[in-house]
Amino acid sequence: MHSPIRKSKSSKRETLLRWLRSREQRSVELQSHGLYWKMLSKARLLAFSSRRTDFKIRWSLRERKEWTLARILVVRGFIKPLLFALISVFVIEMGAYLLMQNKSHLKPYTPETVIRVWDSLKAFLKADPTSYRVLLGPLITVSGAFLGLYFTALNVLLSSTYKQVTSDVRTLIMRDKLGNAYIQIVAFTGAYSVILFGLIVIGYMPSFGSLILLITLGVGEVYCFISQWRRVTQFFDPSTLVFYLSKDLTRWIEEATTKGRWWLDASFQAHFQKQAEQTLNTYRNLIITVRREEHLRSQSLIKLSNSLLTLISVYEFQKNLIPSQSKWFKTIFHHKDWLTTSDMETSIATQTGTALFPKETPDLLWIEKEIGKIIDFALKGFFEESDLLNALALFQHFQNVTKNLARNHSIDEALLLFRIIKVNTEKHSKTFNIPNLAAENDLDPLRFTLALVDFSTLSFINMLLGLIEGTERMDAKVFTSITESASQNNIKSLYKPGLPRKVLQQLESGKRYLDFERVVEGKAITPQWYQLQLVTLSYLRFLESVLKSLLVELEKVFLDEARSLVEEKKYLIAIHVIERGFEACNKFSIHFGGLQRYCAGLDQTRKLTDIPWVNFPWEDYQKKIANIHQELLLLFSTLLGPIIKLPKIDDFPDHFGHAYTVLTDECLKAMISGNEELFKKIFPVMFVAALEAHDRQKKLEIVDIETKFGFLADSIIDLFDLSGYALIFDELDERDFWSTVQDAWDKYLASATDRIALIKLLVTFGTHRQFLAFPRSTTRSAWQGQLQRILRQRGLMREDMFYSERPSSRKEHSSKIIQMLTRSIMLHEKARELFVVTYFKDEIQKGEIEIRSDIRSLYETLNEEDADEKEI
């Protein structure tokens, strides 16, 4: 019987032919032997050793270059004074020489005494070994003294400021190349002098060149000592060492990018990562040192934190030049699911009695996490010491950083850092004791706290704005050009700054797939249009995830935080957060609309419909934003009481005025959108706000009676108008806003001692004809314009009077009020007048209140129509 499974019987000749014809076949067959892998490992080790040697040589050359630069800097410090000294010597020597040359000519004119002094000096100025010894002795002593002084200064530094620092921070001082170069020069001068001294002792006469050199070095020693001394004193502030750290970190980052020589070598990538991590550790240690020293806490801490923020901005641009699978990114291990892992892996694990090999994924945010921790530590330092001014400086810098990161499509990175800032701000807001708002109190801490809240929330809004700027760069042409360059054989062409990681990952896998095709087919098969679709899709997927994250954060940053602040009774801060929340909701709503149009443009690249595409739920997004806005508004309306109580201080925002403006606008918007629930909640609050505004205007010091009356009437006219719009929208859309209005008025008038007198007063204000343009009159005109637009859009406005040739498509509304309103192209009747003739109908009928003739005519028209209706 034959075994059903027979092994290949290919002969050696056939195997050889197969190997010669196909490199890929040869490769797989060789790989099935253990020896191949052993040899490959040895070869890789050899290659790595050679690269490592290359790296070491290049690194040491770079170090040497820095040393040379440091020496040049030291020399430059004394070159000017030396030149001056040389010129002086030259002038004097030349003068003396010329004097000697023309001695005979000048003798008759020279006094006797001068000639005698000159002769004695000439005898003294002989160059002999003794004079040399006289010069060398002090030079050696001075060199030794300077060295001693320098090291003493360093010792003092290390034993005071750096007494309790970790060794890595102390090493940073030792890395001061300028100081080290100075030591070398001083040591060289001392050594040179000692050698000459020795030579003179044995009878050698040094040359004139040595003399010049020694004099030069001697002058240099003195001048450089002064600057070096100044430098050493600077080291008492450890933040001066940040220069070395940021330089190191930038260098390691650059080495890991496509600019580096070893960017594709996993061993080197891991080395660069370790070095960068070590540098960040030193950074943290340096910040710990600074935070511990009371006198350094403010300026040094802010200097260090700002340098970190600058570094992160630089890093985000470089990061796109690092491959996604680079060992520069720390590895995170994930446990695999036994039920979804391939049979091959589970069976090997079962046969060998081992666990499933964990899934390795690169941690793309490791640097941001580390920097975030350091910034968090620094921020806590500021808040612990109530150093709000410096915290504010950091926040100010931070809001630009988030925008830059978002512009670069690094939203996850920006969010990670923002959350650190947010948590610290929230903690501070909740623990901050709001002082009594009186001019005599120190309100600076409150001002700074409110500014911190502002900058923190602005940082978030900036993320959206940055993202929008980022998307503006990414038009269809950019995607085509990215795809084209990614199709090239050169791997570096994949990495371009400003692309989201998801797009980079798509380009990277695309490159692998094309390489597969090139190996198998000898050329790339997949056409550009298909790659373009996938690249665009990856960008849309990035946008989808980013928009989701931003919306989740929008709710947390504004709504959740405002609620929690209200619970903690930190009303003023809550009001600040809510006001920024309104701004954020507005920006989100508008820019999401823009993004919708942008994404619709990108959809054009979709050729194949069977590749799943991103379906953005734009309506849901807008609903979510509107909900957040509504919740914020409701919360805001509950805060009217505390807002009214806030005293008016000139350099504090006018929260009441803002609240009043928002509430009146939102009342109209609620009616337009038919949101009865919202109207029911905010109209009574707006009612109170309007009356409060009226009372506040009484305090205005305005001489002109007409102007003062106009300001007093403004808020009452608003109230009358909005009450009238409730009536109009009830009629227009069959809603129930009027009952809310009626309730509010009924309650208010019921509490009045003299009801009719109050009504008379209110009607006088509410129907006042303002002949001047007051701030609110423009707003009210806009309200009327909105109503007019709605009526026109619904085809209810009568336009045939003016455009008789236009075919009339006007619909007749069943409501008498709407019919009356839409009788002409313009609205002649004002909402406030409708309110007066409707709500105060009984008072008018009984003649208890007086109204203007035009209002009376409206009253009569409406009542006539009512009577007609009754008759019919």
Partner 1 sequence: MKRKSKTGLTSSQKSIPFYNGDDPHLNDKSQYYYAGEASMLIDDVQLSILPFPDRSRDDDEYDIKLTASDATVETLIIDAIESQYGREDLRYSLYEFFKQCAGVLMAYGQAAYEIVYLSTNEGKIDSVRLSLIAPSGFITKRVKFQQYQSTPTAEGSNQRGSFINLPAESVLLFKLPENMRARHDEMMQSLVFVGENIVPKFAIANMVNPTVPFSHDDYSLSRSIAVAKATKHIGWNARNYRNEHRFEHYVWHRQLIFYKFLCILREGILRTLNEGLTRIGSRMGFTAELSFENLPTANDADSALEKLHKGNLKTFNDVLKSFR
Neighbours of 524 (CB within 10 A): 18
Applying CB under 8 A, the span of 1-9, 122-130, 291-299, 711-719 interacting with partner 1 comes to: 1-9
CB of 282 to partner 1, least distance (A): 35
Of residues 40 and 552, the one with the C-beta less far from partner 1: 40
> How far apart are CB 826 and partner 1 at their closest, in Å?
53
Q: Whose CA is closest to 327, among 272, 252, 393?
A: 272
Nearest distance, CB of residue 31 and partner 1, angstroms: 5
Provide the 10 A C-beta neighbour count for residue 525: 13
DSSP string, 214-278: HHHHHHHHHHHHHHHHHHHHHTTSGGGGHHHHHHHHHHHHHHHSTTSSSTT-HHHHHHHHHHHHH
Which residues lie below 8 Å from residue 62, measured CB to CB, with a gap of 6+?
none
Q: Is 33 in the site for partner 1 (CB under 8 A)?
A: yes
Q: Which one, 7 or 870, has the nearer CB to partner 1? A: 7
If binding is defined by CB under 8 A, does position 613 make contact with partner 1? no
- Helical packing angle, 476-486 and 571-602, nearest 10°: 70
> CB of residue 356 vs partner 1: minimum separation in angstroms?
12
* Binding test (CB under 8 A) with partner 1, winner from 5, 439, 801, 826: 5
Q: Does 476 bind partner 1 (CB under 8 A)?
A: no
Cβ neighbour number for residue 84 with a 10 Å cutoff: 11
Taking the C-alpha atoms of residue 370 and residue 601, their distance in angstroms, rounded to an integer, is: 39
Helical axes 831-839 vs 755-766, angle rounded to 10°? 160
When binding is defined by CB under 8 A, the residue of 354, 436, 490, 615 that contacts partner 1 is 354
- Residue from 16, 22, 49, 593 touching partner 1 (CB under 8 A): that is 22
Backbone dihedral region for residue 593 (phi beyond 0: left; psi -120 to 50: alpha; all else: beta): alpha
359 lies in the binding site for partner 1 (CB under 8 A): no
- 2 in contact with partner 1 (CB under 8 A): yes
Q: Which of residues 329-348 bind partner 1 (CB under 8 A)?
A: 344, 348
Q: Which of 622, 618, 625, 633 is nearest to 666 (CA)?
A: 633
- Least Å distance, CB 602 to partner 1, is 17
User: Which range, of 25-33, 74-82, 377-385, 801-809, touches partner 1 by CB under 8 A?
Assistant: 25-33
Binding of residue 34 to partner 1 (CB under 8 A)? yes
Of 99, 264, 266, 520, the one binding partner 1 (CB under 8 A) is: 520
Among 16, 18, 43, 144, binds partner 1 (CB under 8 A): 18
Structural tokens at position 85? 């000294």
Q: Between residues 535 and 635, which has the closer beta carbon with respect to partner 1? A: 535
Decide if residue 351 touches partner 1 (CB under 8 A).
Answer: yes
**Residue 16 binds partner 1, judged by CB under 8 A:** no
DSSP 8-state class, residue 799:
-
Q: Please identify, using beta-carbon distances, which residue of 190 and 510 lies nearer to partner 1.
A: 510
Whether the CB-CB separation of 715 and 765 falls below 8 Å is answered with no
Comparing CB distances to partner 1, the nearer of 6 and 699 is 6
Which of residues 190, 510, 581, 724 is near partner 1 by CB under 8 A?
A: 510
Position 412 contacts partner 1 (CB under 8 A): no
Stretch that binds partner 1, among 153-161, 172-180, 350-358, 440-448 (CB under 8 A): 350-358
Q: Which of 277, 469, 517, 743 binds partner 1 (CB under 8 A)?
A: 517
Minimum Å gap between C-beta 30 and partner 1 is: 9
604 forms part of the interface with partner 1 (CB under 8 A):
no
Quick one: which of 833, 827, 554, 779 has its CA closest to 663? 779
What is the rounded CA–CA span in Å between residue 181 and residue 68? 9
Task: Give yes or no for residue 736 binding partner 1 (CB under 8 A).
Answer: no
Q: In degrees to the nearest 10, what's the CA dihedral of 195, 199, 202, 203?
A: -160
Q: Could you say whether residue 350 binds partner 1 (CB under 8 A)?
A: no
- By CB under 8 A, the count of residues binding partner 1 is 53
505 contributes a contact to partner 1 by CB under 8 A: no
Examine residue 609 and tell whether it contacts partner 1 (CB under 8 A). yes
In SS3 terms, 173-224 reads as: HHCCHHHHHHHHHHHHHHHHHHHHHHHHHCCCCCCHHHHHHHHHHHHHHHHH
Q: Is 13 in the site for partner 1 (CB under 8 A)?
A: no
32 binds partner 1 (CB under 8 A): yes
Q: How far is the CB of 42 from partner 1 (least distance, A)?
A: 9
Asked whether position 203 contacts partner 1 by CB under 8 A, the answer is no
If the CB atoms of residues 3 and 853 are measured against partner 1, the closer one turns out to be 3
Beta bridge partners of 363: 330
Beta strands in 685-766 (DSSP E): none
CA torsion sign for 57, 61, 62, 67 is: positive
**By C-beta, is 613 or 652 nearer to partner 1?**
613
Minimum distance from residue 462 beta carbon to partner 1 (Å): 38
Q: Which is closer to partner 1, CB of 29 or CB of 293?
A: 29
Asked if residues 409 and 498 have their Cβ atoms less than 8 Å apart, the reply is yes
Examine residue 512 and tell whether it contacts partner 1 (CB under 8 A).
yes
HEC-encoded secondary structure of 316-365? HHHHCCCCCCCCCCEEEEECCCCCCCCHHHHHHHHHHCCCCCCEEEEECC
Q: What's the min distance (Å) between Cβ of 527 and partner 1? A: 6
DSSP H/E element including 96: helix 34-101
Site membership for partner 1, residue 325 (CB under 8 A): no
Q: How far is the CB of 249 from partner 1 (least distance, A)?
A: 32
**Distance (Å, rounded) from C-alpha 472 to C-alpha 407?**
10
Cα separation of 184 and 148, whole Å? 13
Region of 497 (left: φ > 0; alpha: ψ -120 to 50; beta: rest) is beta
Does residue number 355 form part of the binding site for partner 1 (CB under 8 A)?
no
Decide if residue 483 touches partner 1 (CB under 8 A).
no
Nearer to partner 1, 525 or 756 (CB): 525
Of the candidate spans 461-469, 604-612, 639-647, 734-742, the one that interacts with partner 1 by CB under 8 A turns out to be 604-612
Number of alpha carbons in the 13 Å side-chain half-sphere of residue 752? 14
Rounded to whole angstroms, how far apart are CA atoms 775 and 285? 57
- Select the residue interacting with partner 1 from 521, 704, 805, 871 (CB under 8 A): 521
Among 112, 440, 610, 701, binds partner 1 (CB under 8 A): 610
Q: What phi and psi values does residue 835 have, to the nearest 5 degrees?
A: -60, -45
Question: Which residue stretches of 102-176 are H helix?
Answer: 103-106, 112-124, 129-159, 167-174
DSSP 810: P
- Per-residue binder mask for partner 1 (CB under 8 A), 526-565, x = binder: xx-xxx--x-------------------------------
What angle do helix axes 167-174 and 129-159 make, rounded to 10 degrees?
160
Q: Does 647 bind partner 1 (CB under 8 A)?
A: no
Q: Quick check: 29 binds partner 1 (CB under 8 A)?
A: yes
Residue 371 C-beta: closest distance to partner 1, Å: 33
Is 518 a residue that touches partner 1 (CB under 8 A)? no
What minimum distance in Å lies between the beta carbon of 524 and partner 1? 9
**Residue of 12, 13, 28, 130 interacting with partner 1 (CB under 8 A):** 28
Nearest Cα to 815, choosing from 842, 838, 782? Answer: 838
d(CA 140, CA 187): 9
Provide the binding-site residues for partner 1, judged by CB under 8 A.
Answer: 2, 4-10, 14, 17-18, 21-22, 24-25, 27-29, 31-34, 37-38, 40-41, 344, 348, 351-354, 510, 512-514, 516-517, 519-521, 525-527, 529-531, 534, 607-611
